[in-house]
Structure 1
Amino acid sequence: MPAAIFVEPWRRWSLRPCLSMPVAVALRVQRRISGDRHMRQLLRVAYLVGAAVLSSEIVSAQSVPPAAIDTSASEADKILATDLVAAVNAGDPVTRTRWAARYHSLRDGALNATDLSKMLGDIGDASRGLTLISTERKNGWLRLDLRAANGKTGKLSLETDGTPANGVLRFNAFARPAPYPAPLIDHPVTRDALRKAIDDRLRFAAGRDEFSGAVLVMRGDETIYSGAFGQADKNFGIPVTLDTRFHTGSMDKMFTAVLIGQLIEEGRLTLDTRLGEILPDYPNADAARSITLRHLLSHQSGVASSFGGPAEDRLRRFERVRELLPRFASKPLDFAPGTQASYSNEGFILLGAIVEKLTGPTYYDAVQSKVFERAGMKDTIYYRIDQVSPLRAVGYRFPDEDFLGFGERINNWTFQGLGYRGNSCGGSYSTVGDITRFLQALRSGKLLSPRMTEEMTSLQKGYSQYGYGFLHRKLGDRSVRGHTGGGAFSGINDIARIVWETGYTVVAMGNYDAPLIEWVGDDVVKMVAAQT
């Protein structure tokens, strides 16, 4: 078997109710321009958020001083970047077409010159005048920090082909948050000092409209910090509260992993159980023979994405997770299981179908009785798209054409990635209190035995900073476990973190695009992880 190729977490996710935000740094989004129709789709690609998390934040001109162009960029990179800004600011199609003809790559699969020209036009329309702040070459991508006339900033990353022409293969883009000017606490402090530091960090972001959501920090029964910012529904002026129910994105993968762990402990499954043993009628016989639960839980299955189908498929009613399998089950695998790692919502849909096969009748019944009730979660629900609730937050996202986040947000009701209903890969609605209760129940052994909990949440080979359905990262000598949820251009972003050694929990849930919550929330996690 060939050596595994690990794809950075921020490089891939499928746009569905799950909307994954695995990890913690910056989920990037790549957009493809579809030629003459000028329609854009989020691409599920093998490359984001290795970091961490999509971006939807903005920066004021005052908070981001001009910076010198990074010396890690080559002269050819600097020329490309300078020419790009000049072509955008020229404001005419002829100049944009000339730049695109000069810099498009001739390689198969690359964006064509028309695509690149339209990209420049969109940036120009949104920016009303563009300034290049800095350039950096990292991991094969040329990263440009850009500022619009209104002071908001974004990051445009270009993958180039390595030829002397420095041709552009594709790009991804996201808005950038204002850098926090104060140092973060990195040592034990009093509770009052910690509360103030957390509150200052959150108010800094909320004051710049970079954060809308709720945050809860606890240790056991002690509430260290709780706060709510922004509006759950801007049309009706409904404020966010601690009882607001936010879309969870991919955080439900933790629930699904727990259900699988319970079945393993009951002796009904093992991590090496093959897909075909449970779903013998699975249409792709090769996948049924070769995919194991271990592959599915660690994003190494190679199951193809179901995103990109007709809208009616994504919005079609269903009551059982297994009803979603026809969308992708007959497709060939993207790679041989166990040879690569690539974030897969479909893998967790398969896990949900396995849960249904062994527990019946539906995934929703199983997760309610075996996870939510055991953890004391009373405010978590899988809304159908036509259900209305005054406690349900409306998501707000940047329009498709404003991929750098220079303009105003719109509501996400037309965002087809929401789907008809959440499922085993993500998409419930919950509160910061309920997600905190889940984390505490997980660590205390209410959901799984200590041995199984450790196995499911510990780092595994495969997806970066990932275990079996759980993110796992190190902060100094601390182990931080949990998950994220959301995506760029979705109006969804959340994080759930528990410092394993000390039991501190940080849950932040919001209704703006990722990675807004991750950047702000991870700063809170860093301060909390430093406490004893």
Structure 2
Amino acid sequence: MRFALALAVLALPGLAFAQAVLPSTPAGEAARAYLEALNARDRATAAAFIKDRFPTSPIDGDGFVGFGRQVGGFDLVRVETATPTTLTALVRERYGEGYARLEIQTDPAAPGQIKRLDARVMPRPAEIPADPRLDDAALAKAVADKLALMGEDYSGVVLIARRGKPFAVFAQGLADRERKIPITQATRFRVGSMNKMHTAVAVMQLAEAGKLDLQAPLAAYLKDYPNVDWARKVTLHQLLTHTGGAGDFFGPEYDKNRDTLRTLQDYVVLHGARSPTFEPGAKWEYANYGYILLGRVIEVVSGQSYYEYVADHIFKPAGMTGSGFEPETTAVPDRAVAYEHVGDAYKPAGGLPWRGTSAGGGYSTAEDFLKFAAALYDGRLLDAAHLKLMTSPQAEDGRGGKYGYGLFIRTAEPPMVAHGGGAAGMNGDLRILDGGEGVIVTLSNVAPPFLAGRISQFVAERFSPQGERRPAIRP
């Protein structure tokens, strides 16, 4: 007589599922073992699973645990297809909003061993409704519960505000693990590519002042740029929207020269002669180096260093007193130590730039990003026309989304502009909903795992535009 192993009951709002069970077949038993090992997020458990069940696994125990920390484990939603040696199931992340299709095939000659395993991310199925919008108190409690579930996997802050006033602020983890210094609301975090928003604002300010033309080629401002042909073709608009083919600057050359890259011009000297990754305007491809070049344009046009310009024209008028770009060799009060959580160890992050750039890598606080959002929308940083340009779709991002100037754009209700940042030891996300009605800031000093975006998405999907409890949004 066959029996089924109950793995989990997933209660989804507005939709009742029967108890999700796995069949007592070789494939079903293998799926159960995989989910139990993944959900444990334990190195020894992962190593035992790989040894006993999946000796041909392409990742080792550390990689297995790292993936578990990233998604928080999976809950079984339903089994979709099953034979004695194959199984397909729908699972949902515990930390994020994502679903995945789990596919397992066992070896007929050795039924206890997995021959193939794949967990492919997919959109929420149409028959499963979105989680309901929550009022502010309920949302704050939901976030507190999510952070408690994440535990030490998330080291950082979360700030949620309505109309410029925070109604939920959380801080957990350690800013300095060696000295046992806790993270607080005043902790300064490296923010990765979130600085691209500041660079875009600076460019728009100079355009507003009539000092540059967004449709002009790069060569109009960087007259001695080494790759003359490309500089004559690529426009500032294309650099702002990642459609210029500028490419990245991270890689072997960066690794060899990291400690000598002290100014934006140093990056141009290193990379300026290379060819573009594609012809300007041909497609969208995220390009860190393009924002280095925009930083150089800001310097040439304004007559100030990038750092001086941003401090004077963005940080100061917005009241962002906790933000800056001081080098890693400078002691900055309240700046968190950057860590990577790999295996069982927290180790200081490697590969940090000597100093942040116009492409990212500066530092800030959650409160400062709230101030930035307020100043962006109340006229202190841009006039209405240039704010509209920056926050309107300017390009398709190639993944079904839209990109403005230094911002990812969501036009569905409630509309949202956002940008995140992530690299070893730094992870953050800013989301501005409905023209400033809501602001979500997440900043972390531990990466991997990269959880800031998962938390901010969790909040954004439940934030009520009017602070009222609303029914679930149907697909």
Assess if the C-alpha contact under 8 Å between 2:440 and 2:459 holds in 1: yes
Within 5 Å, give how 1:431-450 maps onto structure 2.
431-450=365-384
Is 1:520 aligned with 2:455? yes
Unaligned regions of 5+ residues in structure 2, if any?
1-6, 12-18, 35-46, 81-87, 93-97, 104-117, 122-129, 468-475
Matching residue within 416, 420, 425 for 1:484 = 420
| Paired position in structure 1 for 2:133 | 186
% identity of equivalent residues: 30
**Cα distance in 2 between the residues matched to 1:295 and 1:127:** 35
| Partner SS, residue 402 of structure 2 | coil
**Cα distance in 2 between the residues matched to 1:439 and 1:125:** 36
Residue 414 of structure 1: how far off its partner (Å): 4.0
Matching residue within 316, 332, 341 for 2:284 = 341
| Paired position in structure 1 for 2:385 | 451
**Cα distance in 2 between the residues matched to 1:131 and 1:200:** 19
Residue 368 of structure 1: how far off its partner (Å): 0.5
Is 1:497 aligned with 2:434? no
Residue 451 of structure 1: how far off its partner (Å): 0.7
| Paired position in structure 2 for 1:202 | 144
Q: Which moved more, 1:422-431 or 1:195-204?
A: 195-204
Structure 1 residues 348 and 529, CA gap change in structure 2 (3 angstroms)? farther
TM-score scaled by structure 1? 0.65
Within 5 Å, give how 1:114-513 maps onto structure 2.
119=59, 184-186=131-133, 189=135, 194-209=136-151, 210-220=153-163, 222-310=165-253, 313-399=256-342, 407-411=343-347, 413-416=348-351, 418-463=352-397, 464-476=401-413, 478-487=414-423, 490-501=424-435, 503-513=437-447
**Cα distance in 1 between the residues matched to 2:437 and 2:279:** 38
Assess if the C-alpha contact under 8 Å between 1:88 and 1:120 holds in 2: no
Assess if the C-alpha contact under 8 Å between 2:407 and 2:419 holds in 1: yes
Size of the aligned set, in residue pairs, is 396
Structure 1 residues 185 and 238, CA gap change in structure 2 (3 angstroms)? farther
TM-score scaled by structure 2? 0.72
| Paired position in structure 1 for 2:470 | none
What are the Cα deviations for residues 39-98 of structure 1, in whole angstroms up to 9, with x where unaligned?
xxxxxxxxxxxxxxxxxxxxxx989899789xxxxxxxx9xx99xx8x995639x963xx
What are the Cα deviations for residues 240-280 of structure 1, in whole angstroms up to 9, with x where unaligned?
11100011111111100011001111112122110111112
* Structure number with larger C-alpha Rg: 2
Residue 145 of structure 1: how far off its partner (Å): 9.2
- Whichever residue aligns with residue 320 of structure 2, its letter is M
Assess if the C-alpha contact under 8 Å between 2:340 and 2:349 holds in 1: no
Structure 1 residues 467 and 529, CA gap change in structure 2 (3 angstroms)? farther
Residue 436 of structure 1: how far off its partner (Å): 0.6
| Paired position in structure 1 for 2:83 | none
- Whichever residue aligns with residue 527 of structure 1, its letter is R
Structure 1 residues 68 and 450, CA gap change in structure 2 (3 angstroms)? farther
Residue 315 of structure 1: how far off its partner (Å): 2.6
- Whichever residue aligns with residue 357 of structure 2, its letter is N
**Cα distance in 2 between the residues matched to 1:527 and 1:131:** 21
Structure 1 residues 474 and 221, CA gap change in structure 2 (3 angstroms)? closer
| Paired position in structure 1 for 2:124 | none
Structure 1 residues 371 and 254, CA gap change in structure 2 (3 angstroms)? same
Residue 282 of structure 1: how far off its partner (Å): 1.1
Assess if the C-alpha contact under 8 Å between 1:305 and 1:328 holds in 2: no
**Cα distance in 2 between the residues matched to 1:338 and 1:365:** 31
**Cα distance in 2 between the residues matched to 1:230 and 1:469:** 30
- Whichever residue aligns with residue 467 of structure 1, its letter is G
**Could you say what the CA RMSD is over the residues aligned between the two structures, in angstroms?**
4.1
What are the Cα deviations for residues 166-202 of structure 1, in whole angstroms up to 9, with x where unaligned?
xxxxx9999xxxxxxxx85415x3xxxx134223323
Unaligned regions of 5+ residues in structure 1, if any?
1-60, 70-77, 97-116, 137-142, 148-152, 159-170, 175-182, 400-406
What are the Cα deviations for residues 145-176 of structure 1, in whole angstroms up to 9, with x where unaligned?
999xxxxx998999xxxxxxxxxxxx9999xx
Matching residue within 441, 465, 471 for 1:530 = 465
**Cα distance in 2 between the residues matched to 1:472 and 1:433:** 22
**Cα distance in 1 between the residues matched to 2:155 and 2:191:** 15
- Whichever residue aligns with residue 449 of structure 1, its letter is D
- Whichever residue aligns with residue 410 of structure 1, its letter is Y
Assess if the C-alpha contact under 8 Å between 1:246 and 1:429 holds in 2: yes
Assess if the C-alpha contact under 8 Å between 1:398 and 1:408 holds in 2: yes
**Cα distance in 2 between the residues matched to 1:126 and 1:294:** 38
- Whichever residue aligns with residue 392 of structure 1, its letter is R
What are the Cα deviations for residues 486-532 of structure 1, in whole angstroms up to 9, with x where unaligned?
14xx2322111222345322212122325411111222223334325
**Cα distance in 1 between the residues matched to 2:346 and 2:50:** 28
- Whichever residue aligns with residue 142 of structure 2, its letter is D
Assess if the C-alpha contact under 8 Å between 2:340 and 2:446 holds in 1: yes
Structure 1 residues 385 and 451, CA gap change in structure 2 (3 angstroms)? same
| Partner SS, residue 325 of structure 2 | coil
Assess if the C-alpha contact under 8 Å between 1:252 and 1:426 holds in 2: yes
Assess if the C-alpha contact under 8 Å between 1:185 and 1:197 holds in 2: no
Residue 295 of structure 1: how far off its partner (Å): 0.6
Assess if the C-alpha contact under 8 Å between 2:416 and 2:433 holds in 1: yes
Residue 327 of structure 1: how far off its partner (Å): 2.7
- Whichever residue aligns with residue 429 of structure 1, its letter is Y
Assess if the C-alpha contact under 8 Å between 1:211 and 1:230 holds in 2: yes
